[in-house]
Amino acid sequence: MGYVPDQELRVAATNELHVGPKVQVPVQVGPRPNVLVRFLARRPCLVMVLSLLFALGLSAVGMIVGEFEISADNDGWNSRNTPVADKQAQDSARLNLWARLNGEEEDYRRRRHLLQESSHEFNAHGDQAFHGENHLLSLYKGKGKDFNLLNMQSLKEVCEYEAEVFRVQEESDVCRRARDDESWPIIAGECFHPISFVTLIREDLILKKYTHLNYPGKKPWFTCDTLFSEYTATWLGELVELYVSEAKVGPSVIPEHYFASLTGKDIVNDGRHSTNLLRTVFPMREGSLDAVYALHKSGKLKGNGDYSFDLAYDVGDAELTDLLIDDVLSEDMIMACAATAIILFLIWFHTRSVFMAFVGVIQVALSFPSAYFAYKLLLGFSFFPFLNFLAMFVVMGIGADDIFVLFDKFEQAAQSMPGASAYDLACVAIPQASYAMLLTSLTTAGAFFSTAITPVAPIRMFAVFLGMMTVFDYLFVIIICAPALVLQIRWVQAIKAKGAHVGRYFKLSLLDFSQACSRKDKKHKKETMTQKILVQCAKGTTALRYFLVPGLLALFIYFTLVSLDIPMPQTSEVQLFPDNHIFTKWTKWKNDLYVGDGEETSWVRVIFGLKPGDTGNENDPTSKSKIILDPTFDITQPAVQTWMLEFCQDIKQQTFTTDRGDCFMDGFDQWLKGRYNPATSKYDLSLPLPSDQFNYWFLEWRSQRDHRRKHIGIASEIERSYHPESGQGAPPPPGQEQVEFLVMNIEATVKWNDPYNKLKSQFYEWSEYIDKKRLEAPQGTSDSFFFISEDFHWWDTNRQMKNSAYLSALLSVAMATVIIFVSNGNVLLTLYSVISIFCILVTVAATTVAMGWSLGFLEAICFAILVGLSCDFIVHIAHAYKESKEETRREKTLDAIWAMGPPVLYAAVSTSLAGALLFNCTILFYTKFGAVLLFTMAYSFLMIFVFLAPLLVLAGPVGNFMNAYALFYTKKEEEKPDQAKAPEAEAT
């Protein structure tokens, strides 16, 4: 039997559907398929073996030569190569320069991670002995909004919790022990006791009852029962009054080392002097992070009582979060294995073949290392974030979809060509399946690649890698799964031809379970049960088209309005764990602590002498920028000195700054006034200095304070940092040095965790002020001096993520529009498809709004990437509608459902189940991604039946109506009669 043209197969298959008049269609021999399809159909075993060797070779080269390594340090979650990011790059570059000079680790600045942590340092009244160190920090929040924890019973429970954790600390040797030179009320070598409001009560009890006693070496440590049996509620009220008064003005009676954000901020805002939040600081020894993390995993830090408060704790360093992320990431990857098992089962269930299920999973698995080959060795990307593993979940669903399409095309060919050989079936089915899969693969990969416009490296790399996996998945379905399916048909036909024997049923059970279970040779059904059910569902929904189409359009307009009103995040923090996670509770509650003046506020740097820019690789967070000097900067000029001194005084008077900061110029001027001037033999030095004297005095002042060196860059140190071999000799005298850059530190009135819009407002206030000052500045000040803060950089990251999510979504829809139009050429069919895709997106978005989500950049990632997935089902149905040879809208729509409904159904089920598995993950991004994946699959499938199918039956294009290719077809048809008349004329 020869090749059957596509249109003959379509008509023959439709006749069995009974949706139109039955027409007897003879099997005709049409145009031969291309040479590659014929070769694959004749030599499937050779093609599959060579393809497997090719894929395995790519995988081996990629993983070995490419030195496969996952970057799990959670770095790079900042925008790069944006105007704000370029400023931050220069600020980081000058800090890295200082770090290299001092032999410290680079990236000296406080690093931003996905799960942002504050410094957890004590406030302005806090103890400097513990400043900047890591400690276990516990928070207690009353069960009830107005529950006051400053009562005797709750404080006793806090005391009991502290005693239990302190005991665990001592046993595990993670507590900080006193040194011989530390004047604390304990003996050297013993563990420091917790610092909390309970500690204040102990101190107060000693002052009130035991001041007449002498304590050699250390003070007594009362048990909780003793403490709260001797301490009275009256004394507690007096202590609270004292604490509130000193919290506002600074400690004078209460010891400073106990004054460290012990209560919530409501204690000073509430006239009742009550608080719903308390904190305890458990001092830890240096290097005990792993041991504390082990205690966390064992549950020993949660106490052993039923408390009247909720508990949360953390360690004041982001490294603990990194340890947790590494742990849960490994656990979450187990979900990928479970998803593989489910996909394996569904492929077997649909194809009835263990062999095809195994081949399908193999081709999906091989797409990962093959994509890594292209990613690392061809494209040259070295950074491979842990987020890339999420691609396995997505491509499993895409790969299963392609296998279902491929299998159903063979099934439909077999239904219309009973008794056809494997070669004939392949010549019909493979071109059709390849084209159908090409359309969806292009739209999906295009959506993924469009997300690469984001300036955040992990997201960009994830989008590129996911797009590459989609491309390789499509390729491997064609060159591995297609020949495997041809082989299976050959083997089944050969086994059946040999007659019954013992091994027949076992072999058939691996190749076609339904054939093995049948007592006689089973012929292909004209119509499967799945097709019957889906067609009946379509008949039911299309009958309601006059109600469904207008009603759903109105509903989708409402969903659009809801989607446009999706709220922005209230803080710049990015939540990685669920709301009930102990670290998430800490991150949220700590913002309600009374922190005093200065803690967690934003410090803005105003930088002179450097140009914004980033010389590093934007796709690799480990590639840092070098400093870019501004040659126009000359601080030695008297006019520049005067202007900068006035600038220091003026900027502290602005509404968006406080009066605190280090401008250096005003401090330098005060220092000068106390210096002896050899030229006049008087103490009369002050700014401005003569140009030839400035460097000498300025660098002399710089050398007296070590912290000034990283804020004032000089030429010799810059040269020595980048070229260590050039710095072997003695440094030049101060008078011959040159100041290359100067950094001023000004305290702003916002905190890094303030709402998005508040950070935005203050950023633009700073921008307006600096732009104005830049116009007023004299020549030599620096043509490009700028301001920057890590907090503004983090705000810029959220802004860029939001903008790039919208833009990538528009690009994805635009690419889908082009691909759909090119594939069918019909303007109206393209319009209906794009409307359906848009309705899917707004429905998913409206659902997430109803669930209380905000448009953080985790959600933006999900929406941008899943645009591609929302296109697949619509593209399949639109293409099948266009290819249908039926005459009426209803028959064409039902024919499209009959042809593509089953693979779409099984693809929706497999992808939804893979997404549902993500619900068991710990990392919130995975669970949210799974939710959006599930919503997208469900809504995409429903949209076909409740909107697109009724819309096509109501007003779908028929014939050449709105077909852009119709003019070409008409012209071609008009040429045929003329060509036919020519031979007749010659004969006459």
pLDDT digits 0-9 by tens, 497-545: 766 554 554 455 555 545 544 444 444 456 778 889 999 999 999 999 9
Q: How remote is the C-alpha of 494 from its chain's centroid? A: 51
Same domain, 866 and 915: yes
Q: What does the alpha-carbon distance between residue 7 and residue 11 come to, in Å, rounded to a whole number?
A: 6
Paired with 963 in beta bridges are: 826
Q: What does the alpha-carbon distance between residue 696 and residue 679 come to, in Å, rounded to a whole number?
A: 14
Among 741, 680, 752, smallest CA distance to 711 is for 741
Confirm if 833 and 801 have CB atoms less than 8 A apart: no
| pLDDT of the residue at 255 | 54
Confirm if 868 and 395 have CB atoms less than 8 A apart: no
Cis omega (within 30 of 0) for bond into 688:
yes
Q: How remote is the C-alpha of 304 from its chain's centroid? A: 36
| pLDDT of the residue at 667 | 84
Same domain, 878 and 757: no
Same domain, 277 and 266: yes
| pLDDT of the residue at 503 | 52
- Contacts of residue 373, defined as CB under 8 A and 6 or more positions apart, other chains included, come to 58, 59, 61, 62, 66
Paired with 137 in beta bridges are: 281, 314
- Contacts of residue 515, defined as CB under 8 A and 6 or more positions apart, other chains included, come to 352, 492, 496, 508, 521, 522
pLDDT digits (tens, 9 = 90+) for 142-162: 887 778 888 999 999 999 999
List helix spans (H) across 590-675: 638-651, 665-672
Q: What does the alpha-carbon distance between residue 739 and residue 697 come to, in Å, rounded to a whole number?
A: 12
Residue 650 structural domain: 83-103+604-788
Beta strands in 545-625 (DSSP E): 601-608
| pLDDT of the residue at 3 | 43
∠ Cα 152 156 159 (to 5°): 140
Confirm if 510 and 491 have CB atoms less than 8 A apart: no
Q: What does the alpha-carbon distance between residue 920 and residue 926 come to, in Å, rounded to a whole number?
A: 9
- If you average pLDDT over each of 29-33, 185-189, 302-306, 779-783, which comes out highest? 779-783
Task: Identify the weakest region by mean pLDDT among 75-79, 831-835, 866-870, 932-936.
Answer: 866-870
- If you average pLDDT over each of 327-331, 446-450, 640-644, 735-739, which comes out highest? 640-644
The three-class DSSP label of residue 607 is: strand
Task: Identify the weakest region by mean pLDDT among 456-465, 511-520, 610-619, 736-745.
Answer: 511-520
- Contacts of residue 173, defined as CB under 8 A and 6 or more positions apart, other chains included, come to 285, 288, 291
Q: What does the alpha-carbon distance between residue 390 and residue 117 come to, in Å, rounded to a whole number?
A: 25
Residue 974 predicted with pLDDT over 80: no
Q: What does the alpha-carbon distance between residue 925 and residue 922 come to, in Å, rounded to a whole number?
A: 9
SS3 assignment for 492-514: HHHHHHCCCCHHHHHHHHHHCHH
| pLDDT of the residue at 511 | 58
Q: What does the alpha-carbon distance between residue 19 and residue 531 come to, in Å, rounded to a whole number?
A: 13
Same domain, 93 and 227: no
Instruction: Confirm whether 719 is domain-assigned.
Output: yes
Q: What does the alpha-carbon distance between residue 34 and residue 89 come to, in Å, rounded to a whole number?
A: 54
What letter represents residue 862's amino acid?
A: C
CA distances from 680 to 212, 284, 460, 675, 731 (A): 62, 56, 63, 12, 29
Same domain, 829 and 948: yes
Which of 788, 818, 842 terminates a domain? The answer is: 788
Same domain, 687 and 823: no
The three-class DSSP label of residue 182 is: coil
Same domain, 254 and 163: yes
- Contacts of residue 574, defined as CB under 8 A and 6 or more positions apart, other chains included, come to 77, 114, 115, 116, 856, 857, 858
Q: How remote is the C-alpha of 642 from its chain's centroid? A: 47
Instruction: Confirm whether 17 is domain-assigned.
Output: no
| pLDDT of the residue at 477 | 93
DSSP 495: H
What's the structural domain count of the chain?
4
- Contacts of residue 4, defined as CB under 8 A and 6 or more positions apart, other chains included, come to 27, 28, 29, 30, 413, 416, 417, 424, 428
Instruction: Confirm whether 594 is domain-assigned.
Output: no
∠ Cα 79 80 81 (to 5°): 135
Same domain, 371 and 511: yes
Q: What does the alpha-carbon distance between residue 293 and residue 411 come to, in Å, rounded to a whole number?
A: 56
CATH number reported for the structural domain that contains residue 453 in this entry: 1.20.1640.10
Same domain, 609 and 472: no
Instruction: Confirm whether 714 is domain-assigned.
Output: yes
Which of 316, 338, 359 terminates a domain? The answer is: 316
Instruction: Confirm whether 853 is domain-assigned.
Output: yes
pLDDT digits (tens, 9 = 90+) for 668-680: 888 888 887 777 7
Residue 682, class by beta-carbon neighbours within 10 Å (0-12 exposed, 13-18 middle, 19+ buried)? exposed
Confirm if 29 and 2 have CB atoms less than 8 A apart: yes
| pLDDT of the residue at 849 | 87
Instruction: Confirm whether 764 is domain-assigned.
Output: yes
Instruction: Confirm whether 366 is domain-assigned.
Output: yes
Same domain, 801 and 745: no
CA atoms within 13 A on the CB side of 533: 5
pLDDT digits (tens, 9 = 90+) for 199-231: 888 888 887 776 655 554 456 677 898 889 888
Please state at what angle helix 790-824 crosses helix 857-883, rounded to 10 degrees: 0
Cα torsion for 472, 473, 474, 478, to the nearest 10°?
A: 100
Q: What does the alpha-carbon distance between residue 837 and residue 816 come to, in Å, rounded to a whole number?
A: 9
Q: What does the alpha-carbon distance between residue 738 and residue 634 come to, in Å, rounded to a whole number?
A: 9
Token pair listed for 73: 């340090």
Residue 550 predicted with pLDDT over 90: yes
Q: What does the alpha-carbon distance between residue 756 and residue 288 come to, in Å, rounded to a whole number?
A: 35
Q: What does the alpha-carbon distance between residue 956 and residue 888 come to, in Å, rounded to a whole number?
A: 9
Mean pLDDT in the chain? 79
Paired with 283 in beta bridges are: 135
Question: What average pLDDT score do residues 172-176 get?
Answer: 87
Residue 254 predicted with pLDDT over 70: no
| pLDDT of the residue at 88 | 93
CA atoms within 13 A on the CB side of 127: 19
CA atoms within 13 A on the CB side of 107: 11
Which of 467, 500, 522 terminates a domain? The answer is: 522
Among 939, 983, 961, smallest CA distance to 845 is for 939
Paired with 277 in beta bridges are: 141
Instruction: Confirm whether 294 is domain-assigned.
Output: yes
Number of CB atoms found within 10 A of residue 511's CB: 22
Same domain, 487 and 431: yes
Same domain, 159 and 170: yes
Task: Identify the band that residue 786 occupies on the pLDDT scale cut at 50, 70 and 90.
Answer: very high
Rg (CA), the chain: 36
Task: Identify the band that residue 58 occupies on the pLDDT scale cut at 50, 70 and 90.
Answer: very high
